[in-house]
Amino acid sequence: MKVLVVGGGGREHALVRKIKESKRVDSVVCCPGNGGISYDAECYNVSATDIDGVVSLAKEIGTDFVAVAPDDPLAMGMVDALNDAGFPTFGPKANAAVIESSKVFSKNLMLKYNIPTAQYKVFDNPEDAVEYIKEKNEFPTVIKADGLALGKGVIIPETLEQAEAGIKEIMEDKIFGESGNKVVVEEFLTGPEVSILAFTDGKCVKPMVSSMDHKRVLDGDKSLNTGGMGTVSPNPFYTPDVAERCMNEIFIPTTNAMNSEGRPFKGCLYFGLMITANGPKVIEYNCRFGDPETQVVLPRLKTDIMDIFDAINNETLSELDIEWSDEACACVVMASSGYPKSYPKGIKINGLENGQLDGVTVYHAGTAIKDGKLVTSGGRVLGVTALGDTLQEALDKSYNAVEKISFDGGFYRKDIGKRALSAD
């Protein structure tokens, strides 16, 4: 088989590597890919949001299967277009991807089907939103842009002034464009966060091993939200008890709800959960593999991933036994100076040979090859990842490798896994 992976970040690099392990796969190609992915897969310069371009590429190179990884093309209907053109795919159709691309949709779904989540209200004009926050007078509060916003559409104001400024930025200045036409204002929840990626064929849902993201840019969960500065798997807060509750109260009800709405979800459904004093609650759904969660989850997958993709397409997932390794995995993200705000590109990366380093797997998120040299091309640059018998061992391997890699201005969090270790 020849498999095309659509996307160009660290998550796609992890997918490319896992698909390459499949006994059934001869070659993996990627579009647009990136500098590091190009060592593992031929990369084609077609944008991940160019639906016609990707369909044409799939035909031109004779692809047998296409995995669509990022949120935008899924929301735009890339899987629908590829299926119409006759290609088997991995990823939900647009009518199911809406579970991520509209927070208003997902919040209303949870309310309707009694799936635990923060209490909320939806607003389509800024005055009413501010009035509601003023009346409630409970801080911090949480404001979410309705649509996609690169993981940055959530603000958590501590004061009314901050809330007013946030609503103005989202709804009037439109810093996230049309995504800010509506906002969700919701109750602030507390508790450890758990990321669960789950395979589902619409009939049955099979959670993968758990993970923990580190979303803020600085140590101690300080400063701005990012796409994710590092991950560990497993997540110790996801105890067997919590897992059982999540299965019964959240995972199965969500797939059933999507079926009842005529929007069967096939692919990877991502549950962003908070384990509150009142039980697990959904913070967000994503319609895809998480980034950088995928980088610590897929290295632990023992079952052939193409068998899983096939079972999802054939709706036979319930018959497949999916096996995972007991090892722990850690991923430390190295980012460009300035990220998640503006950052330079084209900076030479030192310390890697053919994009890799012994003892770890370096998933490339934002790299390019320029004049034969590996350079930075994004905010998140590398995800330095290692497996270990214990989480401490995995973290030690990752951090030892990180110290051997450098690029001007590059930085990383020094406390990835700290909260997970102290929970043990």
Least distance from ligand AMP to the Cβ atom of residue 398, Å: 22
* x/- map, 274-293, ligand AMP, by CB under 6 A: ---------xx---------
Binding ligand GLY (rule: CB under 6 A), the pick from 230, 290, 299, 340 is 290
Q: Confirm or reject binding of residue 228 to ligand GLY (CB under 6 A).
A: yes
Binding track over 26-65 against ligand AMP, x by CB under 6 A: ----------------------------------------
Nearest distance in Å: CB 194, ligand AMP: 10
101 near ligand GLY, rule: CB under 6 A: no
Beta bridge partners of 404: none
> Is the previous residue joined to 292 through a cis bond, with omega within 30 degrees of 0?
yes
Q: Per-residue x/- marks for ligand AMP, 162-191, CB under 6 A?
A: ------------------------xxxx--
The residue whose Cβ lies closest to ligand GLY is: 290
Residue 175's alpha-carbon distances to 52, 146, 159, in angstroms, are: 28, 13, 20
CA distance linking residue 143 with residue 184, whole number of Å: 6
Which phi-psi region, left, alpha or beta, contains residue 41 (left: φ > 0; alpha: ψ -120 to 50)? beta
Compute the Cα dihedral for 49, 53, 55, 58 and give only its sign: negative
Please report, as residue ranges, which positions from 138 to 167 form the binding site for ligand AMP (by CB under 6 A). Answer: 142, 151, 154
Please, what is the minimum distance in Å from the beta carbon of residue 281 to ligand AMP?
8
Please report whether residue 80 would count as binding ligand AMP according to CB under 6 A. Answer: no
According to CB under 6 A, which residues from 200 to 219 bind ligand GLY?
A: 213
Q: Which of 41, 110, 118, 382: binder of ligand AMP (CB under 6 A)?
A: 118
Q: How far is the CB of 134 from ligand AMP (least distance, A)?
A: 19
290 binds, among ligand AMP, ligand GLY, none (CB under 5 to 8 A by kind): ligand GLY
7 binds ligand GLY, rule: CB under 6 A: no
Q: Pick one of ligand AMP, ligand GLY, none as the site partner of residue 142 (Cβ within 5 to 8 A by kind).
A: ligand AMP
Tokens of 45: 């310069």
Q: Which of 193, 201, 291, 293 binds ligand AMP (CB under 6 A)?
A: 193
Burial of 360 (0-12, 13-18, 19+ CB in 10 A): buried
How many CB atoms sit inside 10 A of residue 52's CB? 10
Q: Which stretch binds ligand GLY (CB under 6 A): 58-66, 289-297, 323-331, 385-393?
A: 289-297
Distance CA 40, CA 221 (A): 34
**Contact partner at residue 243 from ligand AMP, ligand GLY, none, CB < 5 to 8 Å by partner kind:** none
C-alpha angle 75-81-82 in degrees, rounded to nearest 5: 110
Instruction: Give the x/- contact pattern for ligand GLY in 159-198, rule: CB under 6 A.
Output: ----------------------------------------
Contact between 124 and 103 under an 8 Å Cβ cutoff? The reply is no
Q: How many CB atoms are closer than 10 A to CB 135? A: 8
User: CA torsion sign, 209 to 334 to 175 to 192?
Assistant: positive
The answer to whether 225 contacts ligand AMP (rule: CB under 6 A) is: yes
Q: Give 78's contacts (C-beta < 8 A, 6+ positions apart).
A: 6, 51, 54, 68, 91
Instruction: Mark out the alpha helices in 168-291 (DSSP H runs).
Output: 240-246, 252-260
Considering only residues 323-352, where is the footprint of ligand AMP by CB under 6 A?
Answer: none
Given ligand AMP, ligand GLY, none, residue 193, with its beta carbon under 5 to 8 Å by kind, binds: ligand AMP
Is 36 or 290 the residue whose CB approaches ligand GLY more closely? 290
CA 224 from centre of chain = 17
Residue 106 backbone phi and psi in degrees, to 5: -70, -40
Name beta bridge partners: 248.
Answer: none
Contact positions vs ligand AMP (CB under 6 A): 118, 142, 151, 154, 186-189, 193, 215, 225, 272, 283-284
